């Protein structure tokens, strides 16, 4: 098993927003226009009626001060789900599958940063303590806060290290139970979602998630689950 005694994080914090996307007036016009095009195309792909799309918002690291070269452009379509389908219990799975399928067939980037798409219910609260920019209205719904983050926090480093070691241990010991790995994957995502809602972009579990993503550990976990599923279905 690998050990990470002197782990140096890839996370960063800046005094200015990413100048690739922002200027003194707000979101750069060419970036805004391109994001609107991408969001509209994804809505068509997912068969979301235009009337159901209430807004398109930009969240995440590139709408805040903690972006890195690994950061996505997190583009959320805010939708009225009641106008999409009559089966809400199936709709979330459908939209999640459409998101995955889009990512498999498209590799869209703006100034080298991938665009990550997500359908968000209009009744969901906006994430706390972080920047949220309306692409449609071309204005901040919530301005980003300059929060002092201790990227050398021993607890943060320990949580990242422990999760990396856990993933490596499961894979290197040839864990053949995909359900165990899926539960770990879901736990990581759920902890991140809960942390963002309660503490915003700089919540501890969200920083752990970002570090794992930056280091390729989330892809590593997904790829191993896919490998186990393919092996099980093969002769």
**What would the pLDDT profile of 98-145 be if each residue is shown by its tens digit?**
998 998 899 999 999 999 999 999 998 887 778 999 999 999 999 998
Q: Look at residue 176 in the predicted model and tell me its pLDDT.
A: 74
Report yes or no on 86 lying in a domain.
yes
Report yes or no on 178 lying in a domain.
yes
pLDDT exceeds cutoff 70 at 5: no
**H or E segment to which residue 234 belongs:** none
Q: Name the least confident of 7-11, 68-72, 210-214.
A: 7-11
Given the structure tokens 């736990």, which residue do they identify? 187
Report yes or no on 17 lying in a domain.
no
Q: Does residue 46 sit in the same domain as residue 98?
A: yes
d(CA 205, CA 199): 9
Please, are residues 167 and 218 in contact by the beta-carbon 8 Å criterion?
Answer: no
Q: Of the candidates 197, 191, 199, which has an alpha carbon nearest to the alpha carbon of residue 160?
A: 191
pLDDT digits (tens, 9 = 90+) for 170-182: 888 866 778 888 8
Percent residues over pLDDT 90 in the chain = 59
Q: Does residue 115 sit in the same domain as residue 225?
A: no
Q: Does residue 52 sit in the same domain as residue 116?
A: yes
Q: Does residue 192 sit in the same domain as residue 99?
A: no
Q: Look at residue 2 in the predicted model and tell me its pLDDT.
A: 56
Q: Look at residue 198 in the predicted model and tell me its pLDDT.
A: 81
pLDDT exceeds cutoff 70 at 4: no
Average pLDDT of the segment spanning 32-52: 95
Q: Look at residue 174 in the predicted model and tell me its pLDDT.
A: 67
Q: Does residue 136 sit in the same domain as residue 162?
A: no
Domain boundary among 110, 142, 174: 142
Report yes or no on 35 lying in a domain.
yes
Q: Look at residue 130 in the predicted model and tell me its pLDDT.
A: 86
SS3 85: coil
pTM of whole model > 0.75? yes
Q: Where are the alpha helices (DSSP H) in the chain?
A: 29-45, 88-105, 154-172, 178-199, 204-214, 217-233
Report yes or no on 158 lying in a domain.
yes
Given the structure tokens 């498999």, which residue do they identify? 104
Q: Name the least confident of 80-89, 115-124, 215-224.
A: 80-89
Task: Check which CATH number belongs to the domain holding 103 and give it.
Answer: 3.30.460
Q: At what angle do helices 204-214 and 217-233 cross, to 10 degrees?
A: 70
Q: Does residue 72 sit in the same domain as residue 35?
A: yes
Please, are residues 137 and 64 in contact by the beta-carbon 8 Å criterion?
Answer: no
Total domains in the fold of the chain: 2
Q: Of the candidates 7, 29, 11, which has an alpha carbon nearest to the alpha carbon of residue 138?
A: 29
Task: Name the residue range of residue 77's domain.
Answer: 22-142
Domain boundary among 83, 110, 142: 142
Q: Does residue 123 sit in the same domain as residue 205?
A: no
Report yes or no on 8 lying in a domain.
no
Q: Does residue 188 sit in the same domain as residue 118?
A: no
Q: At what angle do helices 204-214 and 178-199 cross, to 10 degrees?
A: 130
Q: Does residue 30 sit in the same domain as residue 118?
A: yes
């Amino acid at each position: 098993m690998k050990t990470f005694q002197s782990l140096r994080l890839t996370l960063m914090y800046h005094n200015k927003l990413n100048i690739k996307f922002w200027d003194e007036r707000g979101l750069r016009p060419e970036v805004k226009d391109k994001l609107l095009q991408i969001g509209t195309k994804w809505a068509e792909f997912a068969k979301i009626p235009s009337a159901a799309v209430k807004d398109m918002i930009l969240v995440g690291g590139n709408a805040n001060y903690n972006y890195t070269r690994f950061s996505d452009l997190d583009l959320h379509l805010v939708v009225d789900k009641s106008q999409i389908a009559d089966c809400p219990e199936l709709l979330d799975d459908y939209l999640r599958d459409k998101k995955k399928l889009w990512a498999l067939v498209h590799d869209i980037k703006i100034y080298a940063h991938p665009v990550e798409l997500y359908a968000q219910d209009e009744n969901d609260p906006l994430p706390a303590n972080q920047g949220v920019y309306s692409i449609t209205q071309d204005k901040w719904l919530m301005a980003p806060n300059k929060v002092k983050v201790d990227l050398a926090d021993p607890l943060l480093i320990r949580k990242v290290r422990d999760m990396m070691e856990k993933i490596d241990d499961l894979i290197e010991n040839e864990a053949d139970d995909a359900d165990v790995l899926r539960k770990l994957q879901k736990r990581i995502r759920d902890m991140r979602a809960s942390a963002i809602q309660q503490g915003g972009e700089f919540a501890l579990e969200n920083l752990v998630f970002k570090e794992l993503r930056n280091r390729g550990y989330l892809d590593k976990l997904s790829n191993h689950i896919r490998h186990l599923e393919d092996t099980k279905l093969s002769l």
